[in-house]
Structure 1
């Protein structure tokens, strides 16, 4: 069956099996394209489109000739005839028409105009059809791009908005109101270069195609963007380390002030509130803005509130008024309204706010009359500490003086203050407020900042992630940490990165918390992750509602945040450095008691549920409780479970889990196990607990060595584990060790050894109690033994009995893995008997079940078996696909078992396809893995491949490994 690809978006073409086809004349080609789009047409329809000027006899003859040429060029079965009426594109053929994909996803598949540069002479009906269809697709595309552009603007995604606008320029979309909207958005986001680039592209398109220029309104907007970019460039940020990435916010506030200066009260907003957590850069932003405005001769007054003055009545306004009077004295100008404030008996904090406010308004109006040639700007920083009367006066001033050239910029932390919330709501109602919310720097912004401030720190590729982990993008924390690292000759991240400025910021965040709230934070800091109410109650056994009351206040203060997940609501510190600071203030003794209590709680929970995901909790808390034996006990249990997925073919995992973040080196057993063994050997005591740890270490290292092919050391360690398990009467590790010996026997094809250890396992089942999946495991291994010794009846009898039982229990992960193994064993028996169809059925079941579980070596085995079956059924393309999947699975899990078999059959397949060099590469890989895989079938297959390679010129294959005695 031929593969046909028809391209109609842009210049049309037809490719059959990789070869581009040429038609004898355009009407034949046009007819084929018409059928490809329409799928099913009538003969009369084709004649009416292409041969409307011919008589009926000539037209039908021309149609028959055209269809003959189409079949000859593209394929005899490409067109199907439904009687004498219909002509259809054969749906059973492998034909790909790009217009079909364009209809489904126009954004991804619109590669140019429909059938551009294609013309059929004297075929007006066909030309009309092409034009209509071309216009329909283009309109569909423009509509989709416009929607994406609007979504990007709404999401504040400048790069996507510019990209989609550029796509519309390419298709000659001329609605300038749309382009002005995008340009305005890019300007507001301080993306001046993107805006200029988009304008230039649009202007060039107009000039080339219409010899026109953009509308006057569009040109005026572009002039504004150019002037603004020049203005910002002329005032570089003085504190670049804190201010980087805030140009967008700087422009937004600056633009609001300029708008108010020009339009006055008609501009709407006369107040900007900058909000963000402590240290995020609010003060730096206001400082840069003040510098910018002062250099433009605006009159600027400012005040920074502080917590110690939060109870002082009207203190911020008194200070502003003092600055006003000082300014007037320097200008040798006296304000009559200021005489009211000269009387100290009236101006102290005891006067009524209403009376004070009236005279303040009079003074400001008088000041604006004398000095209002430019905008008067008031800056208030940290208004979360402003007294309530001053906030109310701020509100009144903004309402009553909106006709004056006065503009106020204030900054506040995120914590909830009722008076500020009331102010925000009141001003929003009148559209007098613009809110600017500063967020932490992203990872990319952090990298750019480091490049400017301390590029040498990026020499170590791990530094960026470490810096971001410590600072989480907080501008002040980031600046302070960079200073500390630059002072450190090695440029290393310090163990305790908290500087005095960082501590000061954190302490200010924790001010005015109650003793109970401090206690709750201490409890939360004991955990290394987000906490639930259940976690908190381990150490703080108070009623839930009381705890929620405390949490809600901490949420209001922005010290913690709430995450509503699918399983449970969790609480996090808003910054890791706050977590670390709070934890550092707990005494060592209390901290150890806390950890011991938490560890005990989770240990009991683990014993009740067997939930392996609790292991990281147990390890962390036992370690910090200084109980090293318990720490190592659970660490070894954790690794035993985790590595079973990569070191066993069908691991009986009790639960799938992905807690690799707790141990970043888990991708390599060797990196973890060897240092762990050395730590355990260094323990001072040699009591029973120590012997149990040594037993578990021997098991883990032995299993690792056996799975990686280091059989000598693996057997030594595994035998040491068996002896220790017998002495300690640990039936669980004895069973697990026997199973490892069985897996080793399978690997080296020592069937006598396999039989011996299956017998040992069966004896343990009679003596001890095990999990429900263990007897099934022994049974299927017994079936595998019978299969390998060609006692197929016995093997089939066991498997036919096991499979229904396991199918009922497949919701249990350990039983599901056993079911996959049974399907695979049953399929392999059919393969040995040459029953490839039945084998295909069982391996398909194994693969279907595998997709619902964690990837294991067994999945690679199933892929390999399916590849062999398809090879035997002469379906070489699909066989190659499954061999590739098997190889990928083995590589991802770093597994050697089964790879020799896959590579050997892949080599045989490559030879079948005539790819000798590729076959040699696969053969060499198979030989490498066969050094540790003694399967006689695989080794015999390698000898077959070797013989075929020897017969080919220019190839010098190495001899394959010999079959060991125990495998014969």
Structure 2
């Protein structure tokens, strides 16, 4: 029976078996839509809905005429009349509607644009194209119909928005929630999801707009419903409490410790000091001094300032040989950024603090990257038992979970990835009082580089898509690895880079994405292009002509060449990657000249996928400026070869033959022998598949007569391999075996023997064929087993399908049916996995013989 599709968005449309039905008037389509819910309707109800302004006789005639029109279009059994005169759609007709589209939507991997297209389709009002006046009955029906559709669509949108919130795809959250609000502006949930999404993306201007809209609609101040965070803006309550407790001990004359607060920029060091100063009374004098980032004090400048300030407050005793804090006085000395002090002041401060024991408490902040002099000073205080260091690390998951209890685990993890757990950057992302200007100033100071080498390292890492180890970093920069280690260690100490130990070796990456993006945005375009090219050159240099290893680098090379504007070269690597993916002969042993076929166990024989990608690349090739250069034309030949081999392998040689002939024409015009040789081998291989020895002989003769002098040693061995097989098939066994053995010796003496593996296996196969055709079945079995032993490391492989089939055939000839069945079943498993066609039909015939023998 037919399948009807009812499409209401963007205009009413009905399709039958995917073809649009054009009705002469709208009411015919509307009647079919009404009946499409598979319910039975009385004639009177339908007459009232569609012809409310007609008397019963005219309305009944119009209904009969309309049903007649529908039956003319779709068949006489499409609408059925029941015994009680009720009318319904034939239950055997399948009906699809717009709700089926939205309910079956595979949205999880959809990009923003595709999702937007779906929502655009459903944004129109349905039944807006009704071109006739209608009464209350039809108006109620349409209103209920719209409500059902909107409720179902809205329910699906809730599911979609929850998914994208869960995976933190905030762009898709925004698109979905904005569409939800268009359908129902009185649901608070999409507004709140929008606030979270815009907050996470740092688009804070939109949050204010949503707040106002919610206030207008729901009539309350939404600002009270925003995300709350803990008391101290930099999440350091515990550290503040500890410092205050040491101050209390100092004030009360108990044993206390000086405090050093160590942390990276933005970790909250200065904020802790400010909080402490705000909570102190006037009983104890605070002398504070802050050294600005980027400022370099002169000799003794810091110490002299502090001493003068203490003296001006009448707290200094200068009566003895050395200055000390006056007897009976207490001073809390707060120094922000002590690590920026001059060396001489640090030494004097140490002596002053030791001499003023129990009269002065030092609270100082400093960065993670300390020089030797300050380290010695702090260690000396620690040795005296007078010093405690508070290390301000980055905030972790638990810290942020306390601060932002209403964020999901995924959102918190995303916050950590973006900020690295740095409190300042978290406040920036969460819009907690950090402006864009403050953010830029912070980044400028925090990411400033003391050496050109550090700057080069950061520039390189900001452009790379993947993290790297030290050796790779030094190779790309062409720098001594010891120097790179030294610079990277300093950048790690400063909280700019971190070590990643997920692999067996240590890799380096930015501490957070914000830093990486900021550095990248500061690089001039011309330098970016240079760095991209340098990275691409490095990964090119480590390719080893083995797909299983090289494949992980192709995407990296393509990306960096594209960003470096080397479009031709990037395209060449796209084609290489494509050819490698489909570098599979689904037939009688690979015929590659110089590379091992590194198969995965999943053979991709999806024709549409192959053709779409092929056409995409060929279209890109057509847009290249240098598309007629010899290099690009050779790439084209390789693409044509891949196309021809693929279609030959799936049994569509007519499609393949056209490309092979094009390869021959193009290769001959370029004197490109590899293309000529490969094309002839494909014809030879096809002739084997269809047992056309005349075609096989013709192409072998062409290679020998016209191109023998152009063949390399390996190419000649491949020629001998196929010529020997031809002789065997012609029952010239001695000549055939002689050629195959000569070929096998050439393959075995190659330097990269592993790349000759399948060619050597093919030689054993041909020997097995020769023995089989001479009814020397035991010898044939041994040769086939020898070929399998060479290919054994490939659990799934086209060659194994053929070889297991041959082993089964030998045992069938020897009347060993159980063993024959065993090998035939192993062969069938291979055939069904790899999409390999040659010999499969004969295999079924052999299996049939096995079962008939029982």
Give the TM-score of the pair, scaled to structure 1.
0.46
Specify the alignment match of 2:393 in structure 1: 438
Which of 415, 422, 425 is matched with 2:376 structurally? 422
Specify the alignment match of 2:755 in structure 1: 814
Output the CA distance in 1 between the equivalents of 2:431 and 2:847.
Answer: 63
Describe the shift of the 1:547–1:778 C-alpha distance in structure 2 as closer, same or farther (beyond 3 A): same
Output the CA distance in 1 between the equivalents of 2:693 and 2:404.
Answer: 63
Please state if 1:342 is matched with 2:308: no
Specify the alignment match of 1:26 in structure 2: none
Please state if 1:238 is matched with 2:230: yes
Specify the alignment match of 2:3 in structure 1: none
- Match of 2:760, SS state, is helix
Please state if 1:506 is matched with 2:506: no
Which of 819, 829, 832 is matched with 1:902 structurally? 829
Which of 844, 848, 852 is matched with 1:943 structurally? 848
Flag the structure with more relative contact order, 1 or 2, with Cα contacts below 8 A and sequence separation at least 6.
2
Q: Map residues 441-456 of structure 1 onto 2, 5 A cutoff.
A: 455=408
Task: Answer yes or no: is the 8 Å Cα contact 1:384–1:413 preserved in 2.
Answer: yes
Describe the shift of the 1:340–1:509 C-alpha distance in structure 2 as closer, same or farther (beyond 3 A): closer
Please state if 1:724 is matched with 2:666: yes
Q: Map residues 21-40 of structure 1 onto 2, 5 A cutoff.
A: none
| Deviation string, structure 1 residues 243-262 (Cα, Å, up to 9, x no partner) | 6xx9xxx8899899999999
Which of 566, 575, 578 is matched with 1:639 structurally? 578
Describe the shift of the 1:607–1:341 C-alpha distance in structure 2 as closer, same or farther (beyond 3 A): same
Task: Answer yes or no: is the 8 Å Cα contact 1:656–1:854 preserved in 2.
Answer: no
Specify the alignment match of 2:715 in structure 1: 774
Deviation of 1:411 (Å): 5.8
Deviation of 1:504 (Å): 3.8
| Deviation string, structure 1 residues 311-358 (Cα, Å, up to 9, x no partner) | 389999999999xxxxxxxxxxxxxxx9845159x89xxx99x956x3
Q: Map residues 205-354 of structure 1 onto 2, 5 A cutoff.
A: 238=230, 271=259, 274-275=262-263, 277-278=264-265, 281=267, 306-308=292-294, 311=297, 340-343=311-314
Please state if 1:677 is matched with 2:618: yes
Greater helix share, 1 or 2?
Answer: 1
| Deviation string, structure 1 residues 249-280 (Cα, Å, up to 9, x no partner) | x88998999999999999998756544x545x
Deviation of 1:417 (Å): 2.8
Deviation of 1:508 (Å): 1.7
Output the CA distance in 1 between the equivalents of 2:420 and 2:276.
Answer: 28
RMSD: 6.9
| Deviation string, structure 1 residues 489-518 (Cα, Å, up to 9, x no partner) | xxxxxxxxx966664443223435356764
Deviation of 1:359 (Å): 1.5
Output the CA distance in 2 between the equivalents of 1:261 and 1:868.
Answer: 94
Task: Answer yes or no: is the 8 Å Cα contact 2:805–2:843 preserved in 1.
Answer: no
Deviation of 1:415 (Å): 3.0
Q: Map residues 375-386 of structure 1 onto 2, 5 A cutoff.
A: 383-385=338-340
- Match of 2:325, SS state, is helix
Task: Answer yes or no: is the 8 Å Cα contact 1:820–1:849 preserved in 2.
Answer: yes
Describe the shift of the 1:300–1:596 C-alpha distance in structure 2 as closer, same or farther (beyond 3 A): same
| Deviation string, structure 1 residues 818-841 (Cα, Å, up to 9, x no partner) | 334445665677788685698468
Output the CA distance in 2 between the equivalents of 1:577 and 1:399.
Answer: 43
Task: Answer yes or no: is the 8 Å Cα contact 2:765–2:783 preserved in 1.
Answer: no
Output the CA distance in 2 between the equivalents of 1:447 and 1:760.
Answer: 75
Describe the shift of the 1:552–1:237 C-alpha distance in structure 2 as closer, same or farther (beyond 3 A): closer
- Match of 1:415, SS state, is coil
Task: Answer yes or no: is the 8 Å Cα contact 1:646–1:856 preserved in 2.
Answer: no
Describe the shift of the 1:869–1:685 C-alpha distance in structure 2 as closer, same or farther (beyond 3 A): same
Output the CA distance in 1 between the equivalents of 2:732 and 2:400.
Answer: 65
Q: Give aligned pairs, total.
A: 606
Output the CA distance in 1 between the equivalents of 2:430 and 2:809.
Answer: 59
| Deviation string, structure 1 residues 759-788 (Cα, Å, up to 9, x no partner) | 555557524254x54333333444555666
Specify the alignment match of 2:641 in structure 1: 699
| Deviation string, structure 1 residues 902-956 (Cα, Å, up to 9, x no partner) | 368xxxxxxxxxxxxxxxxxxxx69x958x44545323135347869xx9xxxxx
Describe the shift of the 1:473–1:801 C-alpha distance in structure 2 as closer, same or farther (beyond 3 A): farther
Please state if 1:359 is matched with 2:331: no
Q: Which runs of 5+ in 2 are unaligned?
A: 1-227, 601-605
Output the CA distance in 1 between the equivalents of 2:838 and 2:431.
Answer: 57
Deviation of 1:680 (Å): 1.9
- Match of 2:565, SS state, is coil
Task: Answer yes or no: is the 8 Å Cα contact 1:680–1:693 preserved in 2.
Answer: no
Describe the shift of the 1:946–1:302 C-alpha distance in structure 2 as closer, same or farther (beyond 3 A): farther
| Deviation string, structure 1 residues 170-224 (Cα, Å, up to 9, x no partner) | xxxxxxxxxxxxxxxxxxxxxxxxxxxxxxxxxxxxxxxxxxxxxxxxxxxxxxx
Deviation of 1:566 (Å): 13
Q: Map residues 29-68 of structure 1 onto 2, 5 A cutoff.
A: none
Output the CA distance in 2 between the equivalents of 1:785 and 1:447.
Answer: 74
Output the CA distance in 1 between the equivalents of 2:807 and 2:242.
Answer: 67
Deviation of 1:307 (Å): 0.5
Output the CA distance in 2 between the equivalents of 1:754 and 1:784.
Answer: 10
Output the CA distance in 2 between the equivalents of 1:641 and 1:569.
Answer: 30
Q: Map residues 76-115 of structure 1 onto 2, 5 A cutoff.
A: none
| Deviation string, structure 1 residues 541-588 (Cα, Å, up to 9, x no partner) | x99999898778767766568999999999866666555544443433
Output the CA distance in 2 between the equivalents of 1:403 and 1:787.
Answer: 104
Specify the alignment match of 1:687 in structure 2: 628
Specify the alignment match of 1:627 in structure 2: 566
Deviation of 1:364 (Å): 3.9
